[in-house]
Amino acid sequence: MRCAQFRTALSARLDGEPTGLPDRRLDKHLARCEACRGWQEQAERLRGRTAGVDPDGPSAAWSTNLLASLGGRGSGAGGPGVTGGPGQGDDGSGPER
Ligand SMILES: [Zn+2]
């Protein structure tokens, strides 16, 4: 058997899925194969890392960020051109008198 097949089985075992191989066989290969031992350690570490992260966390932060960037621009001062200012109302009303 190849290492790749053992690693597939190992990752399945980490996920609690059926490996299709007896545990004894997996462990025997692990005992012999340093590369696969390292691989499993890494896989376990990765699993530990992702397990601690809430899957809803990143997307919530992302949307909050998006709202913040949108709100920073949209709200606040009305911008130029809202108040009429001088010059309006002078048109056409002067000459009549
Ligand atoms: Zn191996």
- Cα 28 to averaged position of ligand 1 atoms, centre (Å): 10
pLDDT digits (tens, 9 = 90+) for 1-38: 799 999 999 999 998 999 999 999 999 999 999 999 99
Q: What would the two tokens of residue 35 be? A: 């590369």
Q: Provide the pLDDT for residue 63.
A: 76
- Cα 3 to averaged position of ligand 1 atoms, centre (Å): 4
- Cα 51 to averaged position of ligand 1 atoms, centre (Å): 26
The domains of the chain are located at 3-52
SS3 18: coil
- Cα 6 to averaged position of ligand 1 atoms, centre (Å): 7
Q: Which residues contact 29 (CB under 8 A, 6 or more apart)?
A: 1, 3, 6, 36
- Cα 44 to averaged position of ligand 1 atoms, centre (Å): 16
pLDDT digits (tens, 9 = 90+) for 66-83: 888 888 665 555 566 666
Q: Provide the pLDDT for residue 90.
A: 66
Q: Provide the pLDDT for residue 60.
A: 72
As a whole number of angstroms, the distance between CA 34 and CA 12 comes to 19
- Cα 36 to averaged position of ligand 1 atoms, centre (Å): 4
pTM (predicted TM-score): 0.50
As a whole number of angstroms, the distance between CA 71 and CA 47 comes to 37
